[in-house]
Chains A and B, each alone.
Chain A
Amino acid sequence: MSDLIKKVTALLNDKTINAFIGYEKGSADRIRATFIRNEDQAQKLILNASCTQNLAGYLLKHEVKKLGKLGILANVAALRSIMQLASEFQIKDGEVYVLFANADGSLTEFTDFKSIEAFLETTDTGIKSEEQEMIAKLEAMTVNERWLFWNKEFEKCIKCYACRAACPMCYCHRCTTDVNQPQWIPVASHELGNLDYHLMRAMHLAGRCVNCGECATACPMDIPLNLLTYQLISPIKATFGATAGMKADAVYALSTYKPDDKENFII
């Protein structure tokens, strides 16, 4: 029996948690989320290099919350999601029991936000090198080239909103896309409707995106839309000194005003 199964079984038995969000084997070579509520179910838990999905989004799903006190197997992206969600008052300190799997397979437990913050400070939270290369390519383009690049990508979009559903930060009860009085974003998945949706979502994720990549992984049409929000990470850091998902009590850069904020980007 793996350490993880032992640990989760113990947590369930001593009622520290009522349900644990982890990974199980999925279809073909896929891995999927699983919601463990008893010892039998705990046997399904697996942990390997393919377990990369950011599970933190489930912490806000109504029917998952109703399972009771939750535990979660968090990777770095999930830890950062939890920090960001905390800073947005979506998760309270001590509300969630967090297990982190180290590279050597050992487990670290986090019972409060302070310990997660301390851990993240010394952890690599950056964007993967392949993605950095893509961003560098995008940044090297002229405005017009970039515009054409994204328009070509958005042509494929079918507005299934899997990207939004998979994003841990897209938890709005009524997304701007769904608001119809007034109608900000055309509902149709046509050129303007797709473009407006993606620009709006990118703006809402500016300074909140924790670079987990779930949106792009979720996209059935293989649109690399994570690059859109990733590209906003460094300008926000450079301009406001803020990085999302590092502190539970962070104040959101784009909704606060400091007298010494740079204003050179305002046209």
Chain B
Amino acid sequence: MEKQLKILKYSDLSKLIEKFRSQGFPVLAPVRKGKVVEIEQVQSLDEIALDVLLSTQSAKKAAFPKVEKVLEYTLEKSGTKQFPVDPADYKETILFGVRPCDASGFKSLDAIFGEEPKDQFYLEKKEKSTIISFSCPVSDEYCFCTSVGGGPGNTAGSDLQFTGISKDEILVEILTEKGEKLAATFADLLTDAAKDIDKSKFLADVKVVFDVDGVVEKTTASFNNSALWLEQSLRCIGCGACAFVCPTCACFDFQDEQNTKKGVRLRLWDSCGFSLFTLHTSGHNPREVQSQRWRQRIMHKFAYMPEQLHVVGCEGCGRCSRACPVDMNIKEHLTAIGEMVKV
């Protein structure tokens, strides 16, 4: 679809949210909660923290929540009866005010969950989400989107993208058919935009710090370079913070919770950073030490995903590094891999 450009007034943003609400769409947007910023359902514009760079957790929870029921069952004398959750019941949702790296993160998740057998729980929720991203006027030292093919005005994964171009005006890019359909519901708030608006003038300047192809090539060749992974991960304490805040981390676990009569099957986030992640029933753990788990994290994103799904599994949002309790900085570690002379 050819992209369309429109103008929306800042002063009409609250009307916009009202419109969404009156059509019955849940609106998920960044909300300030003390020091953290959560992506949550909002009722009005004043709840939304549009000035924050990034929410603490990514937007992935809209389609891949931390806990999700996929099945209910009853245990009866005659046998087990199953009541699967029907993905068709998911609601049309609007994701509002997320950043371009959140929107593009869904591309990786689409690739992962879109593999056979297709994951309807994710795909259906994703299909029913319309993503309105806000480009980034500022960035911080943890951001490196431009090094992994994204950028502060990257439109990949967004249905609509908003860019502030003056105190009063927002440039609206209509990018997909889904976006077009939604934009039609607030067409009265839009006016045509001049064709020659230079959006890049309104975006943060995020320097490219490494060549992603080089990093992919070197990571792929470094499986046996134990010294590299050990050196990078000595301070890693093996928690799940990095994976849980990451927009592209998709590992999960299933747990049944039941009593003698009935139960539910839950899908839960999991992380390759945990030692338990690979622990076998026998007691053997193929990833015995933390450096092997760190290697997995990097190789999954920069070797296995490029090879198998043709995407790099990292959007350069830097969330993992901001959230890491011991300051593991992925941008720094990837830069170091890119600079290795000998692999």
Contact = CB atoms under 8 A, between A and B. Distances in A.
Interface string A43-59: 00000000001000110
A28 interface: yes
Given A63-B230, A63-B289, A57 B237 contact: yes
A81 to B, nearest CB: 14
Contact of A220 (B34, B56, B140): B56
Interface size class of B (residues with CB under 8 A): 35 or more
Given A186-B257, A218-B325, A27 B244 contact: no
A139 interface: no
Contacts of B35: 222
A64 B234 contact: yes
A208 to B, nearest CB: 18
A160 to B, nearest CB: 4
Interface string B235-262: 1011111011100000001010100000
A188 B240 contact: no
Contacts of A34: 235
B234 A35 contact: yes
Contacts of A190: 67, 266
B57 A165 contact: no
Given A35-B235, A62-B289, A220-B245, A158 B325 contact: no
Contact of A27 (B233, B291, B332): B332
B226 to A, nearest CB: 10
B17 interface: no
Nearest to B268: A188
Contacts of B253: 187
Given A27-B327, A188-B266, A222-B35, A162 B235 contact: no
Contacts of B67: 188-190, 193
A141 B326 CA distance: 34
A178 interface: yes
Nearest to A218: B325
Contacts of A204: none
B239 A27 contact: no
Nearest to B331: A27
Given A189-B268, A190-B67, A63 B239 contact: no
B127 to A, nearest CB: 25
Contact of A28 (B33, B142, B271, B291): B142
Contact of A178 (B276, B321, B325): B276
A217 B327 CA distance: 12
Contacts of A159: 66, 240, 269
B274 to A, nearest CB: 7
Given A26-B327, A63-B289, A165 B268 contact: no
A57 B141 CA distance: 28
Contacts of A222: 33-36
Given A222-B34, A222-B35, A162 B327 contact: no
Leading 10 A-B pairs by shortest Cβ distance: A218-B325, A32-B327, A160-B240, A162-B239, A165-B239, A220-B323, A165-B237, A26-B327, A222-B35, A160-B241
Interface of B: 33-36, 38, 56-57, 66-67, 140-142, 230, 233-235, 237-241, 243-245, 253, 255, 257, 266, 268-269, 271, 274, 276, 289-291, 321, 323, 325-327, 329, 332
6 contacts: A30-B327, A57-B237, A63-B289, A159-B66, A187-B268, A188-B268
